Structure 1
Amino acid sequence: MTENITPEWFKSSRSGNGGACVEVATNLLPSTGQVLLRDSKNPDVAPFAFTRAEWQAFVGGAQDGEFDI
Protein backbone atom coordinates (compact mmCIF):
# COMPACT_ATOMS: atom_id res chain seq x y z
CA MET A 1 0.00 0.00 0.00
CA THR A 2 1.33 3.44 -0.95
CA GLU A 3 1.09 6.13 1.71
CA ASN A 4 -0.49 9.38 0.51
CA ILE A 5 1.36 12.31 2.08
CA THR A 6 0.18 15.87 1.51
CA PRO A 7 2.87 18.50 0.92
CA GLU A 8 3.18 21.04 3.73
CA TRP A 9 3.86 24.31 1.90
CA PHE A 10 5.76 27.22 3.39
CA LYS A 11 7.31 30.44 2.13
CA SER A 12 10.05 32.65 3.42
CA SER A 13 9.17 35.04 6.21
CA ARG A 14 10.99 37.66 4.11
CA SER A 15 8.62 37.30 1.17
CA GLY A 16 6.08 39.81 2.48
CA ASN A 17 2.44 39.89 1.43
CA GLY A 18 2.81 40.76 -2.26
CA GLY A 19 1.53 37.37 -3.42
CA ALA A 20 4.41 36.85 -5.88
CA CYS A 21 6.21 34.17 -3.89
CA VAL A 22 7.47 30.65 -4.22
CA GLU A 23 6.45 27.99 -1.75
CA VAL A 24 8.48 24.94 -0.76
CA ALA A 25 7.46 21.57 0.68
CA THR A 26 10.28 19.59 2.30
CA ASN A 27 8.17 17.18 4.36
CA LEU A 28 8.19 14.65 1.51
CA LEU A 29 11.96 14.07 1.68
CA PRO A 30 11.76 11.04 4.00
CA SER A 31 9.10 9.27 1.94
CA THR A 32 9.77 10.31 -1.67
CA GLY A 33 13.23 11.88 -1.57
CA GLN A 34 11.82 15.04 -3.15
CA VAL A 35 11.52 18.73 -2.37
CA LEU A 36 8.62 20.45 -4.16
CA LEU A 37 8.55 24.06 -5.32
CA ARG A 38 5.52 25.98 -6.61
CA ASP A 39 4.33 29.47 -7.48
CA SER A 40 2.05 30.79 -4.74
CA LYS A 41 -0.10 32.59 -7.35
CA ASN A 42 -0.82 29.30 -9.15
CA PRO A 43 -1.03 26.58 -6.49
CA ASP A 44 -3.02 24.24 -8.74
CA VAL A 45 -0.23 23.98 -11.33
CA ALA A 46 2.01 20.94 -10.84
CA PRO A 47 5.04 21.84 -8.71
CA PHE A 48 8.67 21.40 -9.68
CA ALA A 49 10.28 18.40 -7.97
CA PHE A 50 13.93 18.28 -6.93
CA THR A 51 16.02 15.52 -5.42
CA ARG A 52 17.74 16.09 -2.08
CA ALA A 53 21.09 16.60 -3.86
CA GLU A 54 19.62 19.09 -6.34
CA TRP A 55 17.96 21.07 -3.54
CA GLN A 56 21.13 21.10 -1.43
CA ALA A 57 23.14 22.34 -4.43
CA PHE A 58 20.64 25.15 -5.02
CA VAL A 59 20.52 26.22 -1.36
CA GLY A 60 24.33 26.08 -1.16
CA GLY A 61 24.62 28.24 -4.27
CA ALA A 62 22.16 30.77 -2.86
CA GLN A 63 24.05 30.92 0.42
CA ASP A 64 27.34 31.39 -1.44
CA GLY A 65 25.95 34.28 -3.51
CA GLU A 66 26.02 32.46 -6.87
CA PHE A 67 22.68 33.96 -7.86
CA ASP A 68 23.14 37.51 -6.59
CA ILE A 69 22.22 40.12 -9.16
Structure 2
Amino acid sequence: MKTRLQFRKSSFSDPNHECVEIAMNVADIVAIRDSKIPDGPTIRLSPASWGAFRAALATGALDL
Protein backbone atom coordinates (compact mmCIF):
# COMPACT_ATOMS: atom_id res chain seq x y z
CA MET A 1 0.00 0.00 0.00
CA LYS A 2 1.42 3.40 -1.02
CA THR A 3 1.41 6.08 1.69
CA ARG A 4 0.37 9.56 0.56
CA LEU A 5 2.69 12.25 1.85
CA GLN A 6 1.22 15.26 3.63
CA PHE A 7 3.16 18.29 2.38
CA ARG A 8 3.25 21.62 4.21
CA LYS A 9 4.70 25.05 3.62
CA SER A 10 6.81 26.96 6.09
CA SER A 11 4.93 29.29 8.41
CA PHE A 12 7.25 32.02 7.04
CA SER A 13 5.79 31.59 3.53
CA ASP A 14 3.29 33.94 1.97
CA PRO A 15 0.28 31.75 1.06
CA ASN A 16 -0.04 33.48 -2.34
CA HIS A 17 3.51 32.82 -3.53
CA GLU A 18 5.50 29.78 -4.55
CA CYS A 19 7.51 27.99 -1.94
CA VAL A 20 9.29 24.78 -1.22
CA GLU A 21 7.09 22.31 0.64
CA ILE A 22 8.20 19.41 2.82
CA ALA A 23 6.60 16.19 4.01
CA MET A 24 7.84 13.86 6.72
CA ASN A 25 6.50 10.38 7.17
CA VAL A 26 6.98 7.41 9.45
CA ALA A 27 9.29 5.63 6.98
CA ASP A 28 12.18 7.99 7.81
CA ILE A 29 11.82 10.02 4.62
CA VAL A 30 11.75 13.79 4.19
CA ALA A 31 10.29 14.73 0.81
CA ILE A 32 10.75 18.18 -0.76
CA ARG A 33 8.81 19.60 -3.71
CA ASP A 34 8.09 22.84 -5.55
CA SER A 35 4.68 24.19 -4.50
CA LYS A 36 3.98 25.35 -8.08
CA ILE A 37 4.19 21.74 -9.31
CA PRO A 38 2.48 19.56 -6.66
CA ASP A 39 2.35 16.53 -8.99
CA GLY A 40 5.95 17.03 -10.11
CA PRO A 41 9.12 15.38 -8.88
CA THR A 42 10.18 15.25 -5.25
CA ILE A 43 13.58 15.07 -3.61
CA ARG A 44 13.69 12.45 -0.87
CA LEU A 45 16.22 12.68 1.95
CA SER A 46 16.98 10.81 5.13
CA PRO A 47 16.25 12.77 8.32
CA ALA A 48 20.03 13.07 8.90
CA SER A 49 20.57 14.56 5.44
CA TRP A 50 17.64 16.95 5.96
CA GLY A 51 19.15 18.07 9.27
CA ALA A 52 22.56 18.66 7.66
CA PHE A 53 20.91 20.67 4.86
CA ARG A 54 19.00 22.84 7.35
CA ALA A 55 22.16 23.40 9.41
CA ALA A 56 24.07 24.47 6.28
CA LEU A 57 21.30 26.94 5.42
CA ALA A 58 21.28 28.34 8.95
CA THR A 59 25.04 28.92 9.01
CA GLY A 60 25.15 30.47 5.54
CA ALA A 61 27.30 27.66 4.18
CA LEU A 62 25.09 27.47 1.07
CA ASP A 63 24.91 31.21 0.35
CA LEU A 64 26.01 32.06 -3.17
The interval holding the TM-score normalised by the smaller chain is 0.7 to 0.9
Q: Give the 5 Å matches for 1:5-16.
A: 5-16=3-14
Runs (5+) with no aligned partner, structure 1: none
CA RMSD of aligned residues (A): 1.7
Q: Deviations over 1:19-63 (max 9, x none)?
A: 21110001x2x32x2100000000111211111221110011122
User: Taking structure 2 as the reference length, what is the TM-score of the superposition?
Assistant: 0.80
Identify unmatched segments of 5+ residues in structure 2.
Answer: none
Give the TM-score taking structure 1 as reference length: 0.76
Aligned-pair identity in percent equals 33
Work out which of the residue numbers 47, 51, 64 in structure 1 matches 2:59.
64
2:49 maps to which residue? Answer: 54
Q: Distance in 1 between matches of 2:43 and 2:20?
A: 11
Q: Which amino acid aligns with 1:37?
A: I
In the TM superposition, structure 1's runs of 4+ consecutive aligned residues that sit over 6 Å from their partners are: none
Bigger radius of gyration among the two: 1
The secondary structure found in structure 2 opposite 1:49 is: strand
Which 10-residue stretch deviates more, 50-59 or 35-44?
A: 50-59
